[in-house]
Chain A
Amino acid sequence: MPDGLAKTPPFADLATAARKRAGHAWLADFNARAGARYAEAGWPHARTESWKYTNLNALAAGTFALAAAEKASVPEDRVPNIEGLRIVLVNGMLAPDLSDLDRLPDGVSLTRLSNAGMNEREMLERLLAEHTSTDGLPLAALNAATLSDVVVLDIAAGAALEAPLHIISLGATEKAAFAPRLLIRAGADSYADVVESHVSAGAEVYFSNLVTQVSVARGAQLGHYRLQNEAGGAFHIALTSAEVAEGAVYDNFVLSLGARLARNEIRGEITGARVEYRINGAYMASGSQHLDNTTFIDHAAAGSRSREVYKGVLAGSSRGVFQGKILVRPDAQQTDGYQMNRAMLMSDRAEIDSKPELEIYADDVRCSHGATVGELEADHLFYLQARGIDRDTARRLLVSAYIDEAIDEIQAEPVREAMKRLASGWLARNLSGDAA
């Protein structure tokens, strides 16, 4: 097709179906406007800079139907084992029967689109528009065009939660496409940990197109931890946008284990001084998995710190992508930024593309970044073997130590330990004998 002719992007039919299905005019209208933006933005292609290393052809070629409500249960062995109240979504829609909605602690309120009144809808519409710019983010537009529910978690100003809130998103229908939309809003000086788990409840092939919008108000501390442990045939595309205000701490971590293809994109904006902005992660892939971590940190205010540590283990013929951009605006003096991506290749067929990018317009800043790619050190393996430890165990010990160093970035201890157990389970399944 020659340039200049509009081409209908894939999944436009899903947007049409979503609009027709919408239970009320407001949602139909919201879906329709997003559908138009999606059609305009078009499907990412190889020349789209931020999608250069992640080819979405296999996703585009898939046939998916808009997901409907479904009965499901939480696969306990695939989610982090942590104490905490649960909010469960099935196929992108809140499932009250699986959720602890009537036991939410003081200071936490949950609003959802599916039973929102007129006033709440107005609030939702404003929030949805607030801080996801869809320019260049066609999949976020597709999320808006196809979503049928929105879950907003509000943590009241000054509230301090003892236990984490655990949001679990289940893919429950074969060949279904769904678009979870989560909003996490930490009020001023609040303290909370929110865990997201994205797993399959039986389905093998599905398309989860997630958008999470986070705002952390002045002085708040929010831990936001995600496990991506989707089924092996699943496509998981996730955008997190997080806006962090003066004196707040945002501690984000993503552990990516599952999916055939997954993209974890984080876009953060620092709008005040003394912010501590932490986005870290670990990715572990085998077979022909493709795991992409793409981050963008916008230092839009002076005197804040950002820290970013990503570590990966790539076995089989899997592929990892890391793109990390840090923008320091002219006014963002005394910015302190650190970024590191390390990948360990467990086979000569595995591959990593790593692209750090610093754009610095202020002159009084400290920003450092690094990227390394390596293999298990033969010296280390031999040292352990020379002490009687067999090769498989030695490999597991060494890789586990390596990946735990990234997981240690998680500030909430119970979540940290649960994530380590999941990573070590992955190692036991994937690093024995010739599996790697």
Chain B
Amino acid sequence: MLDMSLLKIENLHAEVGGKEILKGIDLEIGAGEIHAIMGPNGSGKSTLSYVLAGRDGYEVTEGSVTFQGRNLLELEADERANEGIFLAFQYPVEIPGVAGMTFLRESYNAKLRYRGEPEADAMRFLKMVRAKAKTLNMNDDMLKRPVNVGFSGGEKKRNEILQMAVLEPSLAILDETDSGLDIDALKLVSEGVNALRSEGRSMLIITHYQRLLNHIQPDYVHVLAHGRIQRSGGKELALELEANGYADFAEEAA
């Protein structure tokens, strides 16, 4: 199992602004597995996603994270992305003035350069993106517009999934991807994610609610509270949480 794991987190402690948020996380994700992390607000779910993606200001004070056998923590955010980690943001950022297509091409070419491969042919790349956008119900206009500017919540989330489809990560971290989505948008986004499931792609789904897991079925569910994984189990654990809430974990405060 050790050799098989794509991501291995051991005793991870991290702080933000001097406050310890993660207090000893242990988690192992194998190739092709889908893990869900559920937990109440303030439990450290988003912190975990940012620590993995390499955001400034999230300081690891103890523990290790190994990704495909490499020490992930010594890499910059862009290097982690190029190694195959993709964070689908809870709140995708609007970037005025940078056309969506330019952004996608820069990202894609960055990955190719990182691997020492030649940059993509512009026309072929455009066709590839258009085809993927179509399955997410995104038209050319959305690709031409500045990244996420004027997009609805649902459009922003679809745009995240499009980026994921183009960049083909080996580990996708979906941070509260269901937040702010109505039921139709949730279905569309979930279908997009499910289409990207494959043996070579693992996912870490971070969510407060169980409803997303009705659409994207996880292999494992973990409960994160007070900066630690409190329980792990199969997908039935999500149903149990849905029924009982997080009250059971509130008392276990450190």
Query: Chain A residues in contact with chain B, CB under 8 A?
Result: 377-380, 382-391, 393-394, 397-398, 400-402, 404-405
Name the CB-closest residue of B to A408: B97
Q: Bound state CA distance, A384 and B93, in angstroms?
A: 9
User: Given A382-B55, A382-B77, are A393 and B110 neighbors across the interface (CB < 8 Å)?
Assistant: yes
The residue from A379, A385, A387, A400 contacting B103, defined by CB atoms under 8 A apart: A387
> Which of B106, B146, B167 is most buried by chain A, counting CB atoms within 10 A of its CB?
B106
Q: Bound state CA distance, A377 and B77, in angstroms?
A: 16
Interface size on B, residues (CB 8 A): 29
User: Given A398-B95, A401-B96, are A386 and B114 neighbors across the interface (CB < 8 Å)?
Assistant: no
Q: Are B110 and A382 in contact (CB under 8 A)?
A: no
Known interface pairs A378-B56, A383-B92; 7 further A-B residue pairs with C-beta atoms within 8 A, sorted by A's residue number: A383-B95, A386-B87, A389-B78, A393-B106, A400-B97, A401-B97, A402-B96
User: How many residue pairs at the A-B interface have CB separations less than 8 Å?
Assistant: 77
> Which of B89, B93, B102 is most buried by chain A, counting CB atoms within 10 A of its CB?
B93
Q: Are A389 and B110 in contact (CB under 8 A)?
A: yes
Q: Bound state CA distance, A95 and B81, in angstroms?
A: 56
The residue from B77, B92, B96, B163 contacting A385, defined by CB atoms under 8 A apart: B77
Q: How far is the CB of B91 from chain A (nearest CB, A)?
A: 9
Which B75-118 residues have a C-beta within 8 angstroms of A? Answer: 76-78, 81-82, 86-87, 89, 92-93, 95-98, 102-103, 106-107, 110-111, 114
Contact with A along B59-83 (1 / 0, CB 8 A): 0000000000000000011100110
The residue from B97, B98, B114 contacting A388, defined by CB atoms under 8 A apart: B114
Q: Are B81 and A385 in contact (CB under 8 A)?
A: yes
Q: Are B96 and A405 in contact (CB under 8 A)?
A: yes
Contacts of A391 in B (CB 8 A): 76, 78
A contact patch SS: helix
Contacts of A402 in B (CB 8 A): 96-97
B7 interface contact, C-beta 8 A: no
Q: Are B107 and A388 in contact (CB under 8 A)?
A: yes
Q: Bound state CA distance, A404 and B96, in angstroms?
A: 11
Q: Are B95 and A401 in contact (CB under 8 A)?
A: yes
Q: Are A397 and B98 in contact (CB under 8 A)?
A: yes
Contacts of B114 in A (CB 8 A): 388
Q: Are B110 and A398 in contact (CB under 8 A)?
A: no
Q: Are A380 and B56 in contact (CB under 8 A)?
A: no
Contacts of B53 in A (CB 8 A): 386
Q: Bound state CA distance, A404 and B95, in angstroms?
A: 13
Name the CB-closest residue of A to B108: A388
Q: Are A401 and B106 in contact (CB under 8 A)?
A: no
Q: How far is the CB of A54 from chain B (nearest CB, A)?
A: 30
Name the CB-closest residue of B to A381: B56
User: Given A393-B110, A397-B106, are A388 and B93 neighbors across the interface (CB < 8 Å)?
Assistant: no
Task: Enumerate the 3 nearest inter-chain pairs by beta-carbon distance, A residue then B residue, closest first.
Answer: A401-B97, A388-B81, A387-B107
Contacts of B78 in A (CB 8 A): 385-391, 394
> Which of A378, A389, A398 is most buried by chain B, counting CB atoms within 10 A of its CB?
A389
Q: How far is the CB of B78 from chain A (nearest CB, A)?
A: 4
Which B165-218 residues have a C-beta within 8 angstroms of A? Answer: 167
Q: Are A389 and B97 in contact (CB under 8 A)?
A: no
Name the CB-closest residue of B to A378: B56
> Which of B56, B89, B98 is most buried by chain A, counting CB atoms within 10 A of its CB?
B98
Q: Bound state CA distance, A404 and B56, in angstroms?
A: 28
Q: Are B163 and A387 in contact (CB under 8 A)?
A: yes
Q: Bound state CA distance, A398 and B93, in angstroms?
A: 13
Contacts of A405 in B (CB 8 A): 96-97
Q: Bound state CA distance, A387 and B56, in angstroms?
A: 15
Name the CB-closest residue of B to A394: B78
Q: How far is the CB of A249 from chain B (nearest CB, A)?
A: 25
Contacts of A390 in B (CB 8 A): 76, 78, 110
Q: Are A398 and B98 in contact (CB under 8 A)?
A: yes
Q: Bound state CA distance, A398 and B99, in angstroms?
A: 11
